[in-house]
Chains A and B, each alone.
Chain A
Amino acid sequence: MSNLASDPVLPRPQSRVWRKFRHHRSAMFGGALVLIFVLLALAAPILPIPDPAATDWGAIRLAPSAAHPFGTDEIGRDILSRMIWGARASLMAGVVSVAIAIAVGVPLGILAGYFGGWTDAVISRCTEALLAIPFLILAIALAAFLGPSLTNAMIAIGIAAAPVFIRLTRGQAINVAAEDYVESAHAIGLSTPTILSRYIFPNVLPPVLVQSTLTIASAIIAEASLSFLGLGQQPPAPSWGAMLNTAKNFMTQAPWMAWWPGIAIFLVVLGFNLLGDGLRDALDPRED
């Protein structure tokens, strides 16, 4: 055995990304916020809280008290319970609509970026046309077209958010396609689908991951807005946006009805934004 590689293999490094993320305070704070809401939403069925749809005509618009810590709404439903069940709708709307946006946007972006030419021209012009319409207006238009329901609202938000992912993925795919390792895949003789799935896709993902946490935040706001307009979650099922919608009629008599969903949306969106910022910093190889 002559000619053996002489230097030892480097020790397996602890994931640099995780190490940087752990030391990023605001990211950890954001992650904790998100985690609390996710746990609350998941635990909703087993928590000792009243039925969110149970009305009580003897307890209409009660201010926060021991029996109803967050107060009650205009038909006597417990707001704390509706907040917790509403977290499910909001978080699900955020996650599912971003999943739809990624499922639509990433493949189109990869095709546009990798093949270029006409494929790119067609995809990019359509994307720009969609980007010209403000995100929320587009989501409202689509949701109105599809019909009011939480599922349709998520589809509408997903489609409205897709152009951002198409653009991001396209740019990233152009960079990755120029890498030597993609040329090495050609030299090996790999087929185009294999190159796209094994070489391009995994290497465009990190920025998409960052963008998706940031987009979840805007999707949650969008779902709240659609529900506020009556295009999202339909009564009596609770959602933060729908709760705000009814609360606006009682701003002077029962302001707590608006406080809680407002605070919850604020905190979740803040959590996802901090998480996304932290992820971006952690995944950025330039700063250490």
Chain B
Amino acid sequence: MKPVMVEARSLSKRFDISGGMFRPKRQLRAVDGVDLTVHQGETFAIVGESGCGKSTLARLLMRLSRPSDGQIRIDGREIAGIEGAELKALRRDVQFVFQDPFSSLNPRLTVARLVGEPLETHRPEMKANERRAEVGRLLSQVGLRPEHMDRYPHEFSGGQRQRIGIARALAAGPKLLIGDEPVSALDVSVQAQVVNLLGELRDRLGLTLIIIAHDLAIIRHVSDRVAVMYLGRIVETGPTDQIFEHPRHPYTRALLAAIPGPDSGRSTGQGPLAGETPSPIDPPSGCHFRTRCPHATEICASARPPLEDADDGVQVACLRWRDLPADTGAAPAPARLTAGAERRFALYRQALAANETGPNPADDPNRTFQQETSR
């Protein structure tokens, strides 16, 4: 087993909601007793619907907000309550890639300043010309031209801006990179590029990645392990293949059943979820999912289901998971693409390979790819 990079124990974040002058104060439990372990060098994905607390969890792990309860250890160091110099040291080791590349870069700073800032902060001994050289190196590492470093963010496209954001995150030399939906704001054609870039950087720099996402296809493509969140709690976690092929928790099954596509309908009799996610201010007792769960019984209301070990490294938080009909085989393996998609990817790879020697590296693969997809 690889050494542990991130370990969170009963991590919680509550927000006070002022109820108004004569109403009692209430609390919103955005993250409600989350346990998770991420190993060094792996890609760990956190998935769930919007409002399930996954972004709050990411901000807690990053210590952009302070947990109400629980412990976080990163690389063996307790970080739940640190401040000042210790927090600054954490910023060197843990970095963040934001969701929206249009709003996460200060519009009044040049790319050289944006990417140079972490160097300025964490390596103050560096001279200005060394810093420029380092910024250039970081930019080419993420696939941008160093010549463009004196331009402003608005002169770049979405994908390029996200690369600037990644270069900025890498500048401090982090061990752990947390991405809060790093590609969901990008064009679909660019998403794959950025996702692949992140994977490539992970391997090259020995990073650990935590990716927050709601797009299951991307998660399946990039991650080693997955945690599924519902209303502030982790309901199922384990190796990605296990979760996708043998989902045990009814919520995970519902999520997978909701993937659109020509052949993704599952024969488990589980249709799409009915109803809305309950409010995290006033969640159902016991299992949070019981109000929407087709398999719920009275016992589900009685107690919070613990995260139990199932087989194959999977943990599941459901009192009845052993009794449920197995969900196997019917799952299409999205790794196996349709013939058309396979052909497009083959062309894309071919173009990329040609481009290693080709004269015009920037435009060529993309054009081939687009022409093919537009048919």
Contacts and interface: CB of A to CB of B under 8 A. Distances in A.
Interface of A: 1-10, 12-13, 179-181, 183-191, 198-199, 202-203
A8 B147 CA distance: 13
Contacts of B87: 189
Given A2-B352, A184-B98, A188-B117, A179 B103 contact: yes
Chain A at the B interface: mostly helix, strand, loop or mixed?
loop
Interface in B35-90: 62, 64, 87-88, 90
Q: Which of the four size classes fits the interface of chain B? A: 35 or more
A203 B197 CA distance: 31
- Which 3 residue pairs spanning A and B have beta carbons closest together? A189-B91, A6-B366, A180-B104
B104 A6 contact: no
Count chain A CB atoms within 10 A of each CB in B62, B87, B106, B107 and give the residue with the most: B106
B163 interface: yes
Given A184-B168, A186-B64, A188-B172, A7 B366 contact: yes
A22 B57 CA distance: 49
Nearest to A189: B91
B105 A184 contact: yes
Contact of B151 (A2, A9, A185): A9
Contacts, number: 110
A187 B96 contact: yes
A165 to B, nearest CB: 20
Given A187-B96, A189-B122, A4 B106 contact: no
19 contacts: A1-B356, A2-B352, A6-B362, A6-B365, A6-B366, A7-B157, A8-B363, A9-B156, A179-B103, A181-B105, A183-B98, A183-B104, A185-B106, A187-B91, A188-B121, A188-B172, A189-B122, A190-B121, A202-B108
Given A5-B143, A10-B157, A198-B109, A188 B197 contact: no
B155 interface: yes
Contacts of B197: 3
Interface in B143-170: 143-145, 148, 151, 154-157, 159-160, 163, 165, 168-169
Contact of B118 (A8, A189, A202): A189
Given A13-B155, A188-B172, 15 more contacts: A1-B361, A4-B143, A4-B361, A5-B157, A5-B163, A7-B362, A180-B98, A180-B99, A180-B100, A181-B107, A186-B64, A187-B169, A188-B121, A191-B121, A202-B108
Contacts of A186: 64
A199 to B, nearest CB: 6
A180 B91 CA distance: 17
A3 B91 contact: no
B95 interface: yes
Given A3-B200, A184-B96, A189 B105 contact: no
Nearest to B119: A188
Contact of A181 (B88, B103, B151, B169): B103
